[in-house]
Amino acid sequence: MLPQEPGVPQEPGVPQEPGVPQEPGASEESRALRALQASRAQGVREDLQVLLHLNPAPPAQATLPLLTAAIRSASVVLALADRKSDTLLLRVNSEDHDQLLVLKAYDEIHPGQGENAGRAGREACALLRLAQAGVCVPGLVASGTHALLRHYVQGPTARDLHWDAALARQLAEWVFRCHEALAVEGIDAARACRAAETSRVAEATDAGQHTVHRAKHRAEHRAKQSGLGRSWLVGDMNLGNFVLDVGSGRLCGIDMGDTRIGDPLDDVGEACMRIVGRRPGFTADRWECAVAFASCYGSLVGSAEYVLSKVPERASASLRQMAVWRNDPFMAEVADAFPFLWDEALRSFRGLNKRGHSTDR
């Protein structure tokens, strides 16, 4: 049985959506593709009609034959998801052997971050940029206004793996490389620490001079500006969106459908919340994995302490958002308790480390 994957105007930092040029100078292969798409309009089942409106991803000489094969021979193996997109696993006969591809189609009925009209294009661009940077993602085959076609990644999802500190660090390294590849501005924890300290000193000075209004303004400004920088985010750190690829043994991020520009700490906080909360949730082992994830990510950006200090507010914000989505009051209570529980976990693991060092001596 196959393991299951879950399922506009251009914005700053995003390249133009890939596609085959439709000008008179278009290649013979691309003209042949358009002719095939036109001729198959009545012969493709309804849920695969979007294939007729896709353009091959670069390099087209590698992806155009696979898109052509999908239009000619695709059959649906199973539906992988239908909440944020209609996601189908397809079997395609290409060059006399079968391949598995994933077709994702977005429309106005599927919720997500930002405008649905641009989600397919944003996800396609993110996958291309990540692949070019050597980050492990599924290979993009084709994309269009409302859909994309990509390779299937076979393997268990991170949600179903046994979690330990090593897996947590592997996920942290993937997320860091993702943020680095999709950065809109530099990601720098040391700079963030200096900015936060400068703001605190100025705020204390203002308060000491009884300029309450100015101190409040600085505090609000600091709250808005604090963070690691700006990057296109994963946007949905559900552990089902990461697969341990059986072919390469690498952790692969398979879903960038909710990507948006934001502070990388938002992904980090949500990841910690997901790690801690995944059943069996809130155990000592889960807290240890979340701390290992945040510490590793922090070390990669330049300050583990800074990132660890920012996790509670970001994780709590993710929990509150999820409580609204799920209409779950208990989750809102967990959000209120998360900062205390996080501090307790940090103290516990730091105490264990100190005792370990003492024993070593």
Answer yes or no: are the C-beta atoms of 67 and 34 closer than 8 Å: no
Task: Map out the domains of the chain as residue ranges.
Answer: 33-151, 158-188+228-354
User: Matching CATH topology for 33-151 and 158-188+228-354?
Assistant: no
CA separation (Å) from 96 to 69, 71, 75, 99?
10, 15, 15, 10
pLDDT per position as a tens digit, 260-307: 999 999 999 999 999 999 988 999 999 999 999 999 999 999 999 999
Q: 278 in helix, strand or coil?
A: coil
Q: What distance in Å separates the CA atoms of residue 217 and residue 34, rounded to the nearest whole number?
A: 57
* In the block, residue with structure tokens 């060092």: 357
Q: What distance in Å separates the CA atoms of residue 174 and residue 178, rounded to the nearest whole number?
A: 6
Q: Which of 296, 222, 225 is nearest to 263 (CA)?
A: 225
Answer yes or no: are the C-beta atoms of 112 and 101 closer than 8 Å: no
CA separation (Å) from 217 to 83, 203, 212, 282?
41, 9, 9, 37
CATH of 158-188+228-354, one of 3.30.1490, 2.160.20, 3.90.1200, 3.40.1350: 3.90.1200
pLDDT in tens, the chain (361 residues): 554 454 433 444 444 444 433 434 457 777 878 787 777 766 678 889 999 999 999 999 999 999 999 999 999 999 998 888 999 999 999 888 999 999 999 987 776 655 566 899 999 999 999 999 999 999 999 999 999 999 999 999 999 999 999 999 999 999 999 999 999 987 877 666 655 555 554 554 555 555 545 544 444 444 444 589 999 999 999 999 999 999 999 999 999 999 999 999 999 999 999 999 998 899 999 999 999 999 999 999 999 999 999 999 999 999 999 999 999 999 999 999 999 999 999 999 887 666 555 555 5
Q: Which CATH class is domain 33-151?
A: alpha beta
Answer yes or no: are the C-beta atoms of 262 and 140 closer than 8 Å: no
Q: Which of 69, 68, 100 is nearest to 87 (CA)?
A: 100
Answer yes or no: are the C-beta atoms of 158 and 242 closer than 8 Å: yes
This prediction's pTM: 0.83
The single-letter code of the amino acid at 145 is: T
DSSP string, 11-23: -TT-PPPP----S
Q: What distance in Å separates the CA atoms of residue 19 and residue 168, rounded to the nearest whole number?
A: 36
